Amino acid sequence: MSKNTSELKFDLFQSAEWMLRYVYRSIKKQKDYILCSPPFSQTQYVYQVKDNSKFQIQVRDKIDLKIVQDIFSREDYGLWRLKRYDELVNKYQSIVHSGKVPLIIDLGANCGLAALYFALQYPASRIIGLEPDVSNYQKAKENCKHHSNVSFINAGISSKDGKGSIVNSQDENWSFMTEMSDDGNVQMISMKTLLSNPEIKDTVPFIVKIDIEGFEKDLFSANTEWVNQFELLVMEMHDWMLPKTANSNNFLKCISQFNRDFLYIGENVFSIKND
């Protein structure tokens, strides 16, 4: 048994919880996805309710498994829980009907499952994910290989172009933190550079998802003209992880300039454009 396999240990309590969740959602069908594999399996089968299909995800370790549960069981990025859900869906459809392509940006893509979720929910969109860690980047490409509208860039996001490094590369793969560094080996790119890519010239900004482990302090420190271009911004803030740093100040100062709703659901802020 490999090291990664051994980490997916059988847990009776977790298995019972999985079975109860499976039965409940099978009866209610209130959500779009049902996990069809026990939590100790490295092959996770996901049933998609709306089109009666299923797909599989190969998880590397317990972290990948937790992300599968967060994205497809809890549906952390499920917009159906918002009162303005119909409005957002109508916006997506209006972009498509106009002959344009809705653009979804995933900053901090990790193993690509949020991008996969968005690809399944909004199949006519163009999705670009940024991930600074090479191993996560490779896994993201593998997880989305059947979706031609999804691509990834092995880079980190920043308020300006430059070089950076991962400062905690020995930690778990969903907690990697970046910092700017002139001699770093990670490419750091700005949203201005990303949005000027000629490959997305016919797209219309729709959703930007941000989970960059505290580096939002840098991202929102300057060059934030892109923020109000997106109908929806979804971000996890990390003051809980970085106490006494006022890490969210730059984001709060930036977002308060715009006419946008501000909702907190679970771990994420949902900021919706009102204009």
CATH number of 79-273: 3.40.50.150
β-bridge mates for residue 107, sequence order: 130, 210
Positive/negative CA dihedral, 243, 249, 252, 254: negative
Q: Average pLDDT, stretch 24-35?
A: 66
Whole-number pLDDT of residue 20: 56
**pLDDT band at residue 223 using 50, 70 and 90 as cut-offs:** very high
Reported as a single tens digit per residue, the pLDDT across 103-144 is: 999 999 999 999 999 999 999 999 999 999 999 999 999 999
Residue 229 pLDDT exceeds 70:
yes
Domain range list for the chain: 3-73, 79-273
**Rounded mean pLDDT of the chain?**
91
3-state secondary structure of 126: strand
Q: Where are the beta strands (DSSP E) in 65-111?
A: 101-107
